[in-house]
Structure 1
Amino acid sequence: MRVLSGRELNRALLARNLLLERSTLDVVAATEHLVGLQAQEPQEPYVGLFSRLADFDPVAASDLLESRRVVRTLMMRRTIHLLSAADCLGLRALHQPMLEQRMRGVLRTRLVGVDEEELREAGTPLFVGEARQLAEAGRALADRWPGAVARDLGDALSSLVPLVQVPPRGLWRQAGPARNTTISTWLGQDVPTTGGSGAIAAESLVLRYLRAYGPAASADVRSWSGLAGLPAAVKNLLPDLVTYRDERGRLLLDVPDGLLPDPDTPAPPRFLPAFDNAVLGYDDRSRIIDDADKGLSILGARYLLVDGRVRATWTTRVDDDATTVLVISPLGGLTRAEAGDDVDAEAEWLLTFLTSGGGHRIEWAAA
C-alpha cells in the first residue's frame, strides 16, 4: 500500500481546501465544497473566503446571509458554521443526535429534572415568531424549571431545536446579538428527517469530507464532524475508495479522483482565520501544524501558512492614529527573511481587504 508523506498530505489538503490556488467558485459553491466554514467568531469566515477565492467580495457574501442562501447554524462538533441553506437543511438530521449528546455532556448536571422533550416542545414556539437570544428564551421558561439557570435552558434549546442565527449577526463589518429563529421559519422548509428527501446521508458526508480534506483516516472524519456513528458508512464506501498509509501507519481513505499534487508544488502564503477547519478538521493535524502548536487552536489563534504549514499567528490592532496594524508572531524560529517577500505581499493584500485601503502597516513580533 502506498505510503503518503506528510508533505504529500499537506499539498493534497491545500489543493482540496482551495488554499494552493485561489478558486473561481462562487461563495455558495465554495461553502458547500468545504462543507461549511466554522463561524462562532462572526467575521472570521470572511477571512477564510478571502484566502480561498479569487475576486472575493465580502459585501456580496454578506448579502447571501440576508437573502438566506447561506446561514449561521450549529452543526459539526456542535459549533456554529456558515453553511449553504441546502446543507443546513440536509445535514441537520444526520447531526441531530450528536448535537443532543454533546449538549448533555455539557449540561447534564445543570439540567437535573428538565425533561428534554418537554423543553423542546415548550421552547420551539418561542423562536417561530420574533427571533430571540437563547438566554431570553431560557428566561421565558424559567418558571417552569426554577432549578435551572436560564442560560443553560437556552443553551440546551440551541441543540434541541433546529435554529439559525439571523442578521445582522454575521454581516460584513456589522455587529449584532445572536438572535435565533427556527430553520423552517427562516428557510420556509421543514428540516428533512433521516432518510427523507433532501437529507444528506452519512456516506455522502464522508465523500464530501474526503474531496475537501482527504486523504484522511476515519478518525479524522470523526474529529471534524463530531459524529461517532460513521463506521457503517465507511464500510459501505470502502469498496469504492482508494486507500493509503501515512507515515504513522494509519489507514487513509480517499476518493478515486482526489487531488494529489506533486509534493514539490510551491505553496503560497495564506492567512487563516480563527478555528479554520483546514487545521481543526483532523484528529492528526500533523500535515499542517506541528504538535507543539496544536493547543493554540483552543485559544482562537489565527494562523499564517508559510510553505503550506502553520509558521506564525497573526492579529490586528488599531493604533491611536487609526492605523490598522497586522501583527505577525512567528512560531518555531521563523524569520521575516525566511518567510520571504510573498508573505509581506499577502499581508498587504489582506490589510487592504480588511481596511478598504485605509491606513495600515505590518509589524513582526519578536520570535
Structure 2
Amino acid sequence: MLTTRALGRALLARQHLLERTDRPPAELIRHLGGLQAQAAPQPPYLGLLSRLDGFTPDRLSTLIEQRAVVRIALQRGTIHLVTAEDCLTLRPLLQPVLDQALRTTYGKRLAGLDLAALAAEARSLVEERPRTFQQLGPLLAASRPDRDPAALAQAARCLLPLVQVPPRGLWGRGGPAAHTTAEAWLGRPLDPAPALDDLVLRYLAAFGPAGPADLKKWSGLSGLGPVLARLAPRLRTFRDEQGRLLHDLPQAPRPAEDVPAPVRLLAPFDNLLLSHADRGRVLPERYRGRVMTQNGIVLGTLLVDGLVAGTWRLTAEQDVVVQPFGPLAPADREGAEAEARRVLAFAGGEGSVRVEAPA
C-alpha cells in the first residue's frame, strides 16, 4: 500500500520537482509527455524553469524556431508543446479524443457535411500557407455558405494534425495562432503504427503509480484498462489508501514519504495538477476551486512540502506576487521568495517580489 503522501513524492521525483535536472529541454519535454501550452507563451517556459537548472527562454524559443518542438492539440484535446517525434506519434494515438470533441461540441452544426472533403480542402489551404482559424473558417465557408465558419475551422482542427507556427509561442514575441499541418511543417508523415503500450508506459514513467482512471484523465482516452492488463507482467502493482489498484514501472523512483520536498512555483496549467483522477497526491481538495476556475483557467501554484499551498502570478509590470492560502513557516516563506526571484530573473524584469498575507 502506498499512502497519498508517498504517491505525491513519487510524482514529484519523476517530474524533477524534488531535485532539478540539467537534462536538455527537449529531452525533458519528451519525458514529461509534453507541456500544457493552451495559453501562450508563458506556461511551457515556466514549467521547464521549475524543473531545469540553467534554463533560459532562448533555449526553448530556439527549439520552436528549429521545429524540434511544436504546439499541437493532443491530450484532452488541448494544446501541448511536444517534441517533433512525439507530435508524429502521439497525434494518431490521441485522434479519438479529437473525434469525440468534434462530435460533442460541433456535431449538430456539422451534421450531413462531407468531413473528408472538408479535411482535404482545409489541408490544401493551410499547407499553401499557415492560416489562423479566423482566416480558415471563411475560406471553408465560401463553398458551404449554410455552415458556421467557426465550426468549420474547429472541424479542421480536430480532423487534421495542425501545428501552431512561430512566432506563436516564442518568449517575448508571440503572435496569432496560425496553423499548418504537422506533415508540412516537419517534412515527415505521421507514425503509421503508433503503440498504445508505449503511451501507457511513458505515462507511468512521468506520472505513476497510476490506474486506468488516471490514464483517462491525463490523455482523454477511454478503454485503457485492457492495455494495463496486457502490460501487467512487466509492471508492479500497489494499492492506494482507498484500496484502488495502481500500476507502475518496476524501477521507477518511489521515494520514502518523509523525503523533503522543496518549495516550488508551478506554472499555470501545469500537468502535475491535471493528470490524475484523484489530484489529492499534490492538490488538497479544499483548494481545488481556488486553483482551477470555473472558466477553465488553472493558476500558477505554490508547492510547500509537496502540496499546493497557494497561487502566484507574474504581472504585466513584471512583479512576482505569491498568495499563500495559510501562514507560511519562515523557511517556507524564504523558499517562496527565492523561487519568485528566480522567476523574476528568468523573465528579465525590473519588478519586485511580493509574498502577500494569507487569503
Q: TM-score interval w.r.t. the shorter chain?
A: over 0.9
**Residue 239 (1) aligns with residue 230 (2):** no
Is residue 135–residue 153 contact of structure 1 (8 Å, CA) maintained in 2?
A: no
Unaligned runs of 5+ residues in structure 1 are none
Amino acid aligned to 2:139: A
Is residue 265–residue 336 contact of structure 2 (8 Å, CA) maintained in 1?
A: no
Unaligned runs of 5+ residues in structure 2 are none
Tell me by how many angstroms 1:315 deviates.
1.5
Is residue 348–residue 362 contact of structure 1 (8 Å, CA) maintained in 2?
A: no
**Residue 352 (1) aligns with residue 350 (2):** no
Mapped to 2, the partners of 1:144 and 1:326 lie a distance apart of 50
Q: Tell me which residue corresponds to 1:294.
A: 288
**Residue 87 (1) aligns with residue 80 (2):** no
What secondary structure does 2:118 align onto?
Answer: helix
Is residue 327–residue 358 contact of structure 2 (8 Å, CA) maintained in 1?
A: no
Tell me by how many angstroms 1:23 deviates.
0.8
Moved more, 155-164 or 231-240: 231-240
**Residue 313 (1) aligns with residue 311 (2):** yes
Tell me by how many angstroms 1:268 deviates.
0.9
**Residue 364 (1) aligns with residue 356 (2):** yes
What secondary structure does 2:108 align onto?
Answer: helix
Mapped to 2, the partners of 1:262 and 1:290 lie a distance apart of 20
Q: Tell me which residue corresponds to 2:95.
A: 96
Tell me by how many angstroms 1:282 deviates.
0.7
Is residue 134–residue 154 contact of structure 1 (8 Å, CA) maintained in 2?
A: yes
Amino acid aligned to 1:155: Q
Tell me by how many angstroms 1:365 deviates.
4.4
Q: Tell me which residue corresponds to 1:267.
A: 261
Q: Tell me which residue corresponds to 1:160.
A: 159
Aligned match for 2:245, one of 239, 246, 251: 251
Mapped to 2, the partners of 1:269 and 1:209 lie a distance apart of 25
Amino acid aligned to 2:168: R
What secondary structure does 1:11 align onto?
Answer: helix
What secondary structure does 2:321 align onto?
Answer: strand
Moved more, 93-102 or 43-52: 93-102
Is residue 40–residue 81 contact of structure 1 (8 Å, CA) maintained in 2?
A: yes
Mapped to 2, the partners of 1:154 and 1:120 lie a distance apart of 10
Q: Tell me which residue corresponds to 1:230.
A: 224
Amino acid aligned to 1:311: A
Tell me by how many angstroms 1:31 deviates.
0.3
Amino acid aligned to 2:22: T
Amino acid aligned to 2:30: E
What secondary structure does 2:172 align onto?
Answer: coil
Mapped to 2, the partners of 1:269 and 1:361 lie a distance apart of 15
What secondary structure does 2:262 align onto?
Answer: coil
Mapped to 1, the partners of 2:276 and 2:147 lie a distance apart of 35
Task: Give a deviation string over 1:158-206, Cα, whole Å, max 9, x none.
Answer: 110111000000001112000001101100001122x2xxx3x111111
| Count of paired positions | 354
Amino acid aligned to 1:313: T
Mapped to 2, the partners of 1:182 and 1:17 lie a distance apart of 30
Tell me by how many angstroms 1:338 deviates.
7.0
Is residue 267–residue 306 contact of structure 1 (8 Å, CA) maintained in 2?
A: yes
Is residue 64–residue 170 contact of structure 2 (8 Å, CA) maintained in 1?
A: yes
Mapped to 2, the partners of 1:363 and 1:286 lie a distance apart of 25
What secondary structure does 2:189 align onto?
Answer: coil
Amino acid aligned to 1:300: V
Q: Tell me which residue corresponds to 2:51.
A: 52
**Residue 12 (1) aligns with residue 10 (2):** yes
Mapped to 2, the partners of 1:263 and 1:366 lie a distance apart of 27
Tell me by how many angstroms 1:146 deviates.
2.2
Mapped to 2, the partners of 1:359 and 1:292 lie a distance apart of 32
Tell me by how many angstroms 1:248 deviates.
1.2
Q: Aligned pair in 2 of structure 1 residues 360, 139: CA closer, same or farther (>3 Å)?
A: same
Matches within 5 A, 1:81-230: 81-193=80-192, 195=193, 199=194, 201-230=195-224
Is residue 312–residue 334 contact of structure 1 (8 Å, CA) maintained in 2?
A: no
Is residue 216–residue 254 contact of structure 1 (8 Å, CA) maintained in 2?
A: yes
Q: Aligned pair in 2 of structure 1 residues 258, 290: CA closer, same or farther (>3 Å)?
A: same
Identical aligned pairs, as a percentage?
Answer: 44
Mapped to 1, the partners of 2:134 and 2:122 lie a distance apart of 11
Task: Give a deviation string over 1:255-285, Cα, whole Å, max 9, x none.
Answer: 0011011211111111111111111011110
What secondary structure does 2:280 align onto?
Answer: coil
Mapped to 2, the partners of 1:299 and 1:163 lie a distance apart of 23
